[in-house]
Chains A and B, each alone.
Chain A
C-alpha cells in the first residue's frame, strides 16, 4: 500500500544532542510537510517542501532544519534539542499545494 513511513516511532535524545528524524513516502507526492504536535494540541506546521523548494514557517526555530534529498525522503534535523522540543513529529505529504494531507504515524521524541 502507498503510504508515509516515519522512523523511528520513538526517539530518545539528550539535551543538546543532535537528532534526525526520517520520513519516506511511496505516494510520489510533490509536497512534504513536517508538523510538531505537543500533547493535547493541534499539529503545528514547521516547514514544507514543494518539490525541492523549501518553505520555512516564520515562527519555526532556527534549531530545526530539514533536508529532502529526493522525492521519496525527507529528514527533520534538530540541532540542539531542548526540553521544550519533546513532542510528536508528524510527516505528511500532498500531491499538490492545497490538497488533503496524508500523514505518517509520527515519531515521538523524548529529550532527557
Chain B
C-alpha cells in the first residue's frame, strides 16, 4: 500500500523566517495530497491540499509544492510565527483508488522568538 514519509521529524526556525517541511510518498498513482497541522491536545487541522494536476498551490502564508517526478511534496510557511509551532502531517490518497488518506509520521515545527 501507500507509504508516506517525512524527511525530518523536527524542525526549529526563528520567528519571521520561512519554513519548509518535506514529505515523500510511494504511490505514483496518488492524486490527492493534504497538509495538516496538529497543535498539542487538538485534532489535526486542514491547512492546504493539492491535486496531481497541479504542481503548486498557495494559501495564506502557505504554499504546497508537488513534484510528481520524484514523488515529493513540500509545505512552505512564510514569515513563520510562534502560533505556527505544531506537528505537521502530510497525507496522500492510498494506492488502488480506495480514496483513503495515508498519513506520514509528522514533523514537529518549533518557532523560536
Contact = CB atoms under 8 A, between A and B. Distances in A.
Contacts of A102: 46
The dominant DSSP class at the A interface is loop
Contact of B45 (A42, A48, A103): A103
Taking each of B34, B89, B103, which has the highest tally of chain A beta carbons within 10 Å of its own beta carbon? B103
A44 B4 CA distance: 12
Size category of the binding interface on chain B: 10 to 19
Nearest to A97: B99
Given A97-B99, A98-B32, A105-B41, A42 B106 contact: yes
Interface of A: 4, 6, 40-45, 48, 90, 92, 97-98, 100-106
Given A42-B106, A106-B42, 16 more contacts: A41-B105, A41-B106, A42-B104, A43-B89, A43-B103, A45-B100, A45-B101, A90-B43, A90-B44, A97-B99, A98-B32, A98-B93, A98-B99, A100-B34, A103-B44, A103-B45
